[in-house]
Every structure is written in C-alpha cells, then in structure tokens.
Amino acid sequence: MQASVTESPVPTATTSSLEKNRRFINAYWLRPENAFWMVLRSNALSRVPMRAPSIDLSCGDGVFSFLHAGGRFDPSFDVFEAVRDLERANTEHADVFDHVDDDYQPPIAREPDWRMDCGTDVKPSLLAKASRLGFYDRLLRQDHNERLPFENDAFQTVYCNATYWVSEVDAFLREIGRITAPGGTIVLQVKLDAIKQFTFEKHREVLGDHWLHLMGRGRLETWPGLCDRRSWERHFAAAGLDVQRADAFVTGTHAHVWDIGLRPIAPMLIKTMNSIHAHLRKEIKRDWVDLFCDLLAPFCKADLDLFTEPSEPVEMQYELTPRR
C-alpha cells in the first residue's frame, strides 16, 4: 500500500539560503550539478532536528554534513584539491576521492552549529578525511551489507543519503530500525529509478554504447538499490519502519540538468585547476563560484520543474520510525 505523503513547502530565496548555496557551490564548484543537488538535500533535511545521539550512515568525507550543520570552510577549500590519481579515474572509473594525504586538513572558517555523534563508511580514506573536520565524535569503517556494530535503540536520529548504494537493502533497513531508539527518527534520502527517464539512456540506439559510456561514467551501476517509490515503501514496511512523512525534493528538471553536467570533463578540469598556481586557481574559482551562485539559484529550489507536464520526482526524503 502506498503511504500517505506530505509534499514539502518550497522555501523562497533569503540571504541565508543564498549564503548556504555559496558554501556548497564553493566546496563542489567543479561539479556544479552535484553542488545544487547537495543544497536540495540539505534544504530538505533542515526540517528535521538532529537530536543526539545521531549517526550519519555512509558519511563519506563528511563535507556534506559539516556544511549542512552550518560549518563554513575558507574559500580556498574544495573537495577537488585533494584529488590525486586522475589517470585511474579515466581508465577504471575509480572514485577519485578515495584517497587522503597525511597533511589533508580543510581550513575551517566557522564551526558547525552542532556535532554528529557517529559516522560510518566503507572507505577508510573517506573516514580519515571526515576525521579531520572534528565534526564526528566517532567514525567507524563499516560495510552496510553487514550487521551494524551498535546496540539496539542506540540513536535518536539516523541519517543516510546512500541507502541505494547498498545491495542488501532489506537487511540494512532492518538494522537501521534496530539501532533507532523508540521515539527516534530515521531520515533516508533515496533516489528513485525515475531518474533513468531523464538520462540519455532511452536514446541508446541513436547515441550508441560508447557515447553513453563517456557520458555516464558508470554512475547507475553503483546504485544497486535504485527502485521506484512504491518499492521503497514496500522495503520500509517489510523492515518494520513506518513512514511519518515523505517529501519529494528533486524534480525531473534537476535530474536532466544533472545528467548533462560537467561529469565527462571533470577529470580534465580537476587536473587543470590542481596544476596551476594557487593564486590563479583562487582567482578563477572566485569568478566561477560567483557565476554559478547566480546560474544555480533557481535550481536550488525543490519545486523547479521546467517540463510542461509535472515530472516524477527522482529523490525523496522519508522520515521513518521503527515499529515496536
């Protein structure tokens, strides 16, 4: 049965929302299409208080949650500066962020308003990066296809924006329910397979395999749990999780723009920007960030949809409680 849902009101642009857009665009500037997606996630998440103890499952390098919590980096910092092995990315479609240097230390201009008690991820290098933010009390390497190493009822708030990366999704959801305290909140941001309607996949016959390979860089293959809204809700019910609220916050227009994005040329852009003098990089970055703050402002709104017919949402935020 489809759960009843509440669609979120759309925030209007305020000085604080523009400042927030800038913080995200500054960190993710060379992938503007990811920057606006992160803002959409953070805006949706803002309606949920992160009551302690809280956990960020699949926290990655922690930059998203740090920014979401109101943290600010010096403008010189971004997630691309620490990227090294770009050749592997070209040949193997490897995760270029899966690496950390001993001296990695993001310059923090403002501490976040609150801290996260715990973060987990399967990649040790990302956890090492997250640890340098001083934002998580505890970080643990954990594959979410396996049992989570926490007591029953351990957390008041459980957040995850990477559920669809896990193949054993039912077992993972049951574990999430187990570690959530009675009265606690689970917030899952999940992609929907409607996203495929907004890629060039449906034009494979015309564009060919090679073209789609260049454009896609293996993205969809990293999301084994991708499914439609009804299937997510069936997974939740089967895991004993009750839907308290569901918000659609990414439209087909967002997905279409994201699909084109700068993905194919990102390795060259990163290499260029990491090869030039720091002074010049800073200058280019400043102009780039200014431009994209304006260009992306409409796309940082959850209801932006330029198609004539309303499109299916491609990402949802679910607030869930464990059934006891």
Ligand X SMILES: C[S@@+](CC[C@H](N)C(=O)[O-])C[C@H]1O[C@@H](n2cnc3c(N)ncnc32)[C@H](O)[C@@H]1O
Give the binding-site size for ligand X (rule: CB under 6 A): 16
C-alpha–C-alpha distance, residues 270 and 274, integer Å? 6
Nearer to ligand X, 122 or 284 (CB): 122
* 162 scored as a contact of ligand X (CB under 6 A): yes
Question: Closest distance between ligand X and the C-beta of residue 143, in Å?
Answer: 5
Does the footprint of ligand X cover residue 145 (CB under 6 A)? yes
Tell me the C-alpha distance between 296 and 255, whole Å. Answer: 13
Pick the closer one to ligand X by CB: 123 or 196: 123
Nearest of 15, 40, 38 to residue 305 by alpha carbon: 40
Task: Pick one of 35, 55, 59, 255: the residue that binds ligand X (CB under 6 A).
Answer: 59
160: left (phi over 0), alpha (psi -120 to 50) or beta: beta
Site string for ligand X, 112-141 (x = CB under 6 A): ---------xxx--x---------------
Helices (H) and strands (E) in the chain, counts: 12, 9
Amino acid at site 183: G
Write down the least CB distance from residue 166 to ligand X, Å.
5
Show the tokens assigned to 161: 């924006």
Instruction: Please give the structure tokens belonging to residue 229.
Output: 């809204």
Task: Output the smallest distance, CB 304 to ligand X, in A.
Answer: 21
Of the candidate residues 143, 283, 290, 294, the single one contacting ligand X (CB under 6 A) = 143
Q: Distance (Å, rounded) from C-alpha 144 to C-alpha 172?
A: 6
Q: Which residues 6+ apart lie within 8 Å of 75 measured at CB?
A: 26, 282, 285, 286, 289
Between 166 and 190, name the residue whose CB sits nearer to ligand X: 166
Question: Which residues fall within 8 angstroms of residue 171, CB to CB, at 6 or more apart?
Answer: 145
Torsion of CA 178, 179, 183, 185, to 10 degrees: -110
Q: Which of 54, 58, 311, 317 binds ligand X (CB under 6 A)?
A: 58
The stretch among 42-50, 162-170, 261-269, 287-295 that binds ligand X (CB under 6 A) is 162-170
Site for ligand X in 10-29 (CB under 6 A): none
Q: Which of 166, 241, 266, 320 binds ligand X (CB under 6 A)?
A: 166
Binding site for ligand X (CB under 6 A): 58-60, 64, 121-123, 126, 142-145, 161-162, 165-166
